[in-house]
């Protein structure tokens, strides 16, 4: 039969309502063990969900941990293209986003407060593509989601198998691999229109082709062009003090984006016991315009900028995976990867100029910035008001660029099958990340020549037109050995023990200075620091099989992040030179049930996590003009995850899932003797409740056609922007609807995203402007056409 869809496995088309209900039920499953990929003629057969979350193929119901698997068919049916799309399907995941490809996310509320600064602590969630980590401090890459096998979400600390930066859990993007002896091709085109915005379009295609009897290739290519919806208002801006007026950048639907790329995988079956897969992924993305709006001061979906903003983000990853079998059920896996990324973005910084001119706590109401753009010699530094001397254009912008390289190697050996009384895994891991990055704050209107002719001040080897310059290098290196063993104590009870030993090194070369000069005792820094760390991370789990086929489990796991070093700051003594490692200890009790006919599934997990010596990112202009990291004390996160999936004989499927969280400081956050946040303060950017549900119906049409409709709803509760001086970010509800008609080898999907035209607050910032709210795309009406060979 012909098949539609790029999931694993694609569904076969016939007119059995029961079969299509089961298949669609698998596609729309949302939460902690959700996907029911059932290919059957009735409800008596269920295809098992196999995941590799434990670094071996296992049934998801057998794992004594909370794991969510979103199948390829669900991703396709939900129209998932990027991080924001699949984040809405994961109740345990909270996030902030300040533009495409610029996001920070947390599992189970493990938020450290960082919002994009490359000098922040290591991430609390590990992000993988297949076997390779790609998470980066402050700037996780946003891989386009197409032709995926599944997405696995491992909730809770995964320190034993996944190491550093897996404190809150791990998200694994599993790509579809080449299939031997199959010729397969598919293409999708999409067009859509945004309410109060412009149009979007995309094209995606994949092919699977045999090269020889033992070699196959699978490749995809895509281009997605998304129209804008934020208007940049025109007019002028007059700077306080100098009274200099500049025109505002005007552009309707300014925030456009383009993402294009390809992925190619070559797999060879050398013999019955050895396979090799070579994969290359390349992606380019670019954006223009503003991605925030100021609804209170300017109106809905409106913003103001003096400078036109943009981002360019290019990355490539090449990976090699070798999988082999040895004697006596012993197998091995080698996974190596090289990741390269170049990013540049330009931001308007004129609200920063205005803030620091009069309102900054460091200026005490004096016109500091006007001092440098007006006549340098004819007015007093402490004069408040309009100067008599001539003033230059005070316009400023920030030009950021970075270039990342990451190399990883992992080798592991596994033994045993789920039926054996003993299973074990042992492995070694190496990870090296190099990230040179530059921030240049350009200010052409500065008049900062001293009488001796130097730029910026006596003895400063500065550069004209540069207010502040930063040239940093961050190098992270991690070495680890790990092991895990599962023992069957009886027919119903299994115990798992694990341990990871790690050594880490963080090297930071920090050069920065005013007027583009480095190393001056007053104007800048030239620092070179190394911080080393080592430790162990244990794990224990007990799984008991109940008589009804359910699994009851108790899990203790630990996650960690190595310590690091800060840039120093001339404006404040609050930032420590070094900060220590932190660890997260998790105790979890869970219950999993899946009926034999695959029509019912229930999962629940109750957990308590103690965060010891929590690392946090601090960006408070009352303390310092730059972000710094510190250990702020202990925190506690208590939560509940639950989901239910029900399939009916008349073609309906119902799925619901929710996460309840209570993340808070367990002691006062004290810095320089002052209590910045008292015990009980909620952790930043984490809602108390995040929930999602979906309902769909399968039906037959005339002429041998079939179809279904799908309605999904998600709810994100209120969040605090930070632990110190927090802003309340509003709760929001979003909904999507789609209706599909399909034939033997084609399908047409009419969809409405953001059905209620909700304005979600993805992130809000008021550091130096009245309001900066990053929001979601308004209501979007679209048509998607699919064809499969």
Domains and CATH numbers, the chain: 3-447+472-788 (2.40.170.20)
Q: Over 90: is that where the pLDDT of 116 sits?
A: no
User: Residue 497: beta bridge partners?
Assistant: 485, 540
d(CA 84, CA 777): 11
Mean pLDDT of the region 51-64: 85
Share of the chain above pLDDT 90, in %: 59
Helices marked H in 110-207: 159-162
257-271/215-226 β-pairing: antiparallel
Q: Please, how many CA atoms are within 13 Å of residue 279, restricted to the half-sphere of its CB?
A: 25
Q: Cα-Cα-Cα-Cα dihedral of 682, 683, 684, 688, to 10°?
A: -60
d(CA 416, CA 423): 5
How sure is the predictor about 171, in pLDDT bands with cuts at 50, 70 and 90?
very high
H or E stretch at 131 = none
Mean pLDDT of the region 398-405: 93
d(CA 232, CA 657): 39
What pLDDT shows up at residue 379?
A: 38
69 within 8 A of 34, measured Cβ to Cβ = yes
pLDDT digits (tens, 9 = 90+) for 536-558: 999 999 999 999 889 999 999 99
Taking the model in full, what pTM does it have? 0.90
Mean pLDDT of the region 563-567: 78
How sure is the predictor about 730, in pLDDT bands with cuts at 50, 70 and 90?
very high
d(CA 576, CA 630): 7
Residue 383: other Cβ atoms inside 10 A:
15
Tokens of 172: 């694994």
How sure is the predictor about 389, in pLDDT bands with cuts at 50, 70 and 90?
low
How sure is the predictor about 156, in pLDDT bands with cuts at 50, 70 and 90?
very high
Q: Which of 233-247, 346-360, 640-654, 742-756 has the lowest mean pLDDT?
A: 346-360
Tokens of 226: 């998304």
Task: Tell me which of 296 and 191 has the higher pLDDT.
Answer: 191
CA 685 to chain centre: 14
Q: Which of 124-133, 441-450, 466-475, 641-650 has the lowest mean pLDDT?
A: 441-450
708 within 8 A of 696, measured Cβ to Cβ = yes
Tokens of 44: 């008596």
Q: Which of 160-164, 293-297, 371-375, 747-751 has the lowest mean pLDDT?
A: 371-375
Task: Tell me which of 444 and 555 has the higher pLDDT.
Answer: 555
Q: Which of 31-45, 75-89, 504-518, 573-587 has the lowest mean pLDDT?
A: 31-45
Tokens of 761: 């607050």
d(CA 64, CA 360): 52
What pLDDT shows up at residue 45?
A: 32
Task: Tell me which of 588 and 653 has the higher pLDDT.
Answer: 588
What pLDDT shows up at residue 367?
A: 54
Task: Tell me which of 30 and 446 has the higher pLDDT.
Answer: 446
H or E stretch at 73 = helix 72-77
Helices marked H in 321-390: 350-358, 370-373
What pLDDT shows up at residue 620?
A: 65
Distances from the Cα of 777 to the Cαs of 309, 330, 772, in angstroms?
18, 50, 16
User: Residue 783: beta bridge partners?
Assistant: 191, 750
d(CA 355, CA 769): 7
Q: Which DSSP state fits 279?
A: E
Mean pLDDT of the region 709-718: 95
Mean pLDDT of the region 431-440: 92
The beta-strand segments (E) located in 548-651 are: 551-561, 564-565, 578-579, 582-594, 600-612, 615-618, 628-631, 635-647
Number of H helices, E strands in the chain: 6, 48
Task: Work out the burial of residue 431: count CB atoms within 10 Å of its CB; fewer than 13 is exposed, 13-18 middle, 19 or more buried.
Answer: buried
What pLDDT shows up at residue 697?
A: 92
User: Residue 708: beta bridge partners?
Assistant: 698, 740
| The residue to which tokens 């910045």 are assigned | 676
Residue 471's nearest CA partner among 531, 406, 526, 432 is 526
Q: Over 50: is that where the pLDDT of 3 sits?
A: no
Q: Which of 211-215, 400-404, 405-409, 749-753 has the lowest mean pLDDT?
A: 400-404
Listed ranges 219-233, 319-333, 561-575, 662-676; the one with the highest mean pLDDT: 219-233
How sure is the predictor about 243, in pLDDT bands with cuts at 50, 70 and 90?
confident
What pLDDT shows up at residue 118?
A: 74
Q: Which DSSP state fits 370?
A: H
How sure is the predictor about 10, in pLDDT bands with cuts at 50, 70 and 90?
very low
Share of the chain above pLDDT 70, in %: 83
How sure is the predictor about 443, in pLDDT bands with cuts at 50, 70 and 90?
confident
Q: Which of 279-288, 333-342, 598-607 has the lowest mean pLDDT?
A: 598-607
What pLDDT shows up at residue 378?
A: 41
Average pLDDT, the chain: 85
d(CA 573, CA 523): 16
How sure is the predictor about 266, in pLDDT bands with cuts at 50, 70 and 90?
very high
Q: Which of 157-161, 194-198, 617-621, 686-690 has the lowest mean pLDDT?
A: 617-621
Q: SS3 helix, strand, coil % of the chain, rounded to 5?
A: 5, 55, 40
Residue 163's nearest CA partner among 188, 135, 183 is 135
Task: Tell me which of 463 and 86 has the higher pLDDT.
Answer: 86
Task: Tell me which of 655 and 214 has the higher pLDDT.
Answer: 214
Tokens of 88: 């809405």
pLDDT digits (tens, 9 = 90+) for 195-214: 999 999 999 999 999 999 99
What pLDDT shows up at residue 1?
A: 34
What pLDDT shows up at residue 724?
A: 84
Q: Over 80: is that where the pLDDT of 35 sits?
A: no
User: Residue 353: beta bridge partners?
Assistant: none
What pLDDT shows up at residue 9?
A: 29
Sign of CA dihedral 130, 131, 136, 137: positive
Mean pLDDT of the region 647-667: 93
d(CA 566, CA 563): 10
d(CA 13, CA 637): 46
d(CA 70, CA 657): 13
Residue 655's nearest CA partner among 607, 700, 599, 699 is 599
What pLDDT shows up at residue 233?
A: 95
Q: Over 90: is that where the pLDDT of 466 sits?
A: no
Residue 397's nearest CA partner among 468, 327, 332 is 468
d(CA 216, CA 184): 11
Q: Is 21 helix (H, G, I), strand (E, B) or coil?
A: helix
Q: Which of 9-13, 135-139, 723-727, 748-752 has the lowest mean pLDDT?
A: 9-13
What pLDDT shows up at residue 364?
A: 44
């Amino acid at each position: 039969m012909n098949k539609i869809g790029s999931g694993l496995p694609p569904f076969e088309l016939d007119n059995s309502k029961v079969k299509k209900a089961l298949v669609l039920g698998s596609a729309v499953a949302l939460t902690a063990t959700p996907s029911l990929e059932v290919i059957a003629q009735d409800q008596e057969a269920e295809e098992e969900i196999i995941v590799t979350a434990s670094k071996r193929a296992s049934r998801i119901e057998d794992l004594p941990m909370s794991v969510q698997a979103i199948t390829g068919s669900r991703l396709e049916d939900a129209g998932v293209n990027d991080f924001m799309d699949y984040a809405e399907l994961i109740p345990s995941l909270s996030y902030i986003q300040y533009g495409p490809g610029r996001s920070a996310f947390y599992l189970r509320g493990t938020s450290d407060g960082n919002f994009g600064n490359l000098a922040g602590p290591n991430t609390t969630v590990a992000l993988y593509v297949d076997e390779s980590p790609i998470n980066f401090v402050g700037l996780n890459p946003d891989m386009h989601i197409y032709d995926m096998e599944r997405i696995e979400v491992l909730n809770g600390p995964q320190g034993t198998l996944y190491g550093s930066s897996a404190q809150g859990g791990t998200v694994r993007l599993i790509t579809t691999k080449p299939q031997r002896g199959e010729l397969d091709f598919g293409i999708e085109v999409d067009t859509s229109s945004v309410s109060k915005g412009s149009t979007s379009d995309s094209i995606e295609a994949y092919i699977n082709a045999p090269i020889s009897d033992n070699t196959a290739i699978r490749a995809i290519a895509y281009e997605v062009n998304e129209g804008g919806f934020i208007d940049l208002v025109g007019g002028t801006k007059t700077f306080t003090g100098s009274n200099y007026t500049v025109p505002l950048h005007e552009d309707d639907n300014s925030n456009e984006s383009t993402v294009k790329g390809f992925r190619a995988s070559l797999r060879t079956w050398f013999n019955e016991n050895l396979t090799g897969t070579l994969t290359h992924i390349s992606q380019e993305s670019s954006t223009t315009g503003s991605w925030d709006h100021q609804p209170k001061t300017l109106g809905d979906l409106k913003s103001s900028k003096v400078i036109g903003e943009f981002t360019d983000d290019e990355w490539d990853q090449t990976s090699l995976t070798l999988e082999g079998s040895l004697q006596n059920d012993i197998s091995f896996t080698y996974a190596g990867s090289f990741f390269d990324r170049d990013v540049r973005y330009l931001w308007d910084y004129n609200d920063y100029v205005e803030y620091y001119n009069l309102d900054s706590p460091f200026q005490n109401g004096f016109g500091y910035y006007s001092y440098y753009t007006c006549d340098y010699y004819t007015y007093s530094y402490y004069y408040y008001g309009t100067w008599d001397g001539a003033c230059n254009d005070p316009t400023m912008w920030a030009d950021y660029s970075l270039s990342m390289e990451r190399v990883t190697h992992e080798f592991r050996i596994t033994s045993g099958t789920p039926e054996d009384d003993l299973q074990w895994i042992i492995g070694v891991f190496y990870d090296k990340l190099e990230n040179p990055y530059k921030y240049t704050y350009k200010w052409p209107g500065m008049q900062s020549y001293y009488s001796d002719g130097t730029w910026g001040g006596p003895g400063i080897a500065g550069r004209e037109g540069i207010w502040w310059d930063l040239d940093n290098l961050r190098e992270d290196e991690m070495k680890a050995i790990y092991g895990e063993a599962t023992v069957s104590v009886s027919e119903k009870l299994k115990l798992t023990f694990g341990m990871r030993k790690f050594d880490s090194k963080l090297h930071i070369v920090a050069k920065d200075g005013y007027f583009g000069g480095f190393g001056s005792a007053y104007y800048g820094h030239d620092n070179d620091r190394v911080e080393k760390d080592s430790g162990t991370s244990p794990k224990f789990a007990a799984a008991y099989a109940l008589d009804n086929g359910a699994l009851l489990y108790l899990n203790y796991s630990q996650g960690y992040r190595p310590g690091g070093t800060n840039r120093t700051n001339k404006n404040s003594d609050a930032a420590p030179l070094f900060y220590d490692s932190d660890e997260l200890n998790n105790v979890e009790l869970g219950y999993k049930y899946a009926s034999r006919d695959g029509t019912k599934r229930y999962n629940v997990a109750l957990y308590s996590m103690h965060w010891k010596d929590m690392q946090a990112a601090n960006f408070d202009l009352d303390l310092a003009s730059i972000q710094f990291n510190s250990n702020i004390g202990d925190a506690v996160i208590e939560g509940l995850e639950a989901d239910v999936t029900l399939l009916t004989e008349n073609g309906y499927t119902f799925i619901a899932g929710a996460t309840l969280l209570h993340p808070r400081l367990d002691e006062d956050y004290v810095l320089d003797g002052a209590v910045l946040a008292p015990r009980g303060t909620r952790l930043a950017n984490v809602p108390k409740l995040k929930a999602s549900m979906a309902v769909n119906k399968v039906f037959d049409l005339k002429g041998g056609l079939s179809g279904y409709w799908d309605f999904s709803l998600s709810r994100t509760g209120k969040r605090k922007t930070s632990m110190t001086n927090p802003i309340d970010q509003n709760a929001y509800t979003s909904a999507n609807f789609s209706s599909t008609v399909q034939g033997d080898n084609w399908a047409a999907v009419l969809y409405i995203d953001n059905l209620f035209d909700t304005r979600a607050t993805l992130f809000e910032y008021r550091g130096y402007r009245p309001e900066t709210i990053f929001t979601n795309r308004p209501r979007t009406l679209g048509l998607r056409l699919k064809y499969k060979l």
